[in-house]
Amino acid sequence: MTIQMSLFNEPAPSLPVSYYPDFLSKQEANELYQHCLGLQWQQNQIKMLGKTMPVPRLECMYGDEGCDYLYSKSVLLKPLAWTEELAGLRDRITATTGYSFRIVIGNQYRSGQDSIGWHSDNEASMGLDPAIASVSLGAVRKFQIKVIGGKPTDFWLEHGSLLVMHPGCQSTHLHQVPKTNKFVTTRINLTFRPHVGGGK
Ligand SMILES: O=C(O)CCC(=O)C(=O)O
């Protein structure tokens, strides 16, 4: 079932996303969170406006062999082999959504000062109009999405939830997880994505 919900559980305006607040049970989400804490997180550096700076979060990537992922023309992620847990989650999301995925990128937000700014995920390595499925674990953070040039809609992405950005979303919309000065503990986000390269 596809549910569109936003802040205070009001129906979202027409957005190319679906939100499943209880995609995982609490126990499944807790176990997956523990598994993900043990993944191979790295602090990458990004080049922006001629400066090199740390990416404001930790990252990791798992996926099919050879499915390298370059974003912002400066951060190159190379896939580690799927863990059993991540592959199981990938298959479960495919069974629910009908979309297939070849990589998963992990983001670890260590505090409210970790974030990801407004962007769309339009890297050519994912092919045209990718569907992206995003699982959230740990602390609840605000996720904002807006049509380019429009006003944002806020979602509070809960522990064990799944947010699906449907094909087309990356061409018309931007999204972000803003910084917050409130005290927040660690949040882990997993984005499952297609990939057109690598060995099949
Ligand atoms: O952490 C999130 O919910 C969003 C992550 C994201 O936007 C991305 O990986 O491109």
Do 74 and 126 touch, CB atoms closer than 8 A? no
Q: Is the pLDDT of residue 10 over 60?
A: no
- Which ranges in the chain belong to alpha helices (H)? 26-37, 84-97, 169-172
| Cα gap 118→174, rounded to integer Å | 6
- Looking up residue 120, the CATH number of its domain turns out to be 2.60.120.590
The pLDDT value recorded for residue 1 is 39
Residue with the larger pLDDT of the pair 189 and 2: 189
Give a yes or no: residue 1 inside a domain.
no
Mean pLDDT, residues 142-158 taken together: 96
Which residue type sits at 114?
D
From the centroid of its chain, how far is CA 5? Answer: 18
The pLDDT value recorded for residue 157 is 98
Give 56 Cα–ligand 1 centroid separation in angstroms: 12
What is the rounded average pLDDT for all residues in the chain?
93
Mean pLDDT, residues 94-102 taken together: 98
Give a yes or no: residue 6 inside a domain.
no
Q: Whole domain around residue 103: which residue ranges?
A: 11-193
Q: List, for residues 14-41, the tens digit of each pLDDT value.
A: 899 999 999 999 999 999 999 999 999 9
Q: Is the pLDDT of residue 193 over 60?
A: yes
Which residue among 134, 154, 162, 180 has the greatest number of ligand 1 atoms within 8 angstroms of its CB, and so is best to mutate?
134
Give 65 Cα–ligand 1 centroid separation in angstroms: 22
Pocket of ligand 1 (CB under 6 A): 105, 107, 116, 121, 134, 143, 157, 175, 177, 189, 191
| Cα gap 27→113, rounded to integer Å | 28
Mean pLDDT, residues 139-158 taken together: 97
Q: List, for residues 151-166, the tens digit of each pLDDT value.
A: 999 999 999 999 999 9
Give a yes or no: residue 155 inside a domain.
yes
What is the number of structural domains in the chain?
1
Q: Is the pLDDT of residue 120 over 80?
A: yes
Which residue among 23, 101, 107 has the greatest number of ligand 1 atoms within 8 angstroms of its CB, and so is best to mutate?
107
Q: What does DSSP say about strands 116-119 and 173-177: parallel, antiparallel, or unpaired?
A: antiparallel
| The two structure tokens encoding residue 1 | 């079932």
Q: Is the pLDDT of residue 124 over 80?
A: yes
Mean pLDDT, residues 90-116 taken together: 98
Give a yes or no: residue 124 inside a domain.
yes
The pLDDT value recorded for residue 2 is 43
Give a yes or no: residue 198 inside a domain.
no
Give a yes or no: residue 24 inside a domain.
yes
Give 156 Cα–ligand 1 centroid separation in angstroms: 13
Give a yes or no: residue 200 inside a domain.
no
The pLDDT value recorded for residue 15 is 94
Q: List, for residues 33-68, the tens digit of each pLDDT value.
A: 999 999 999 999 999 989 999 999 999 999 999 999
Give a yes or no: residue 78 inside a domain.
yes
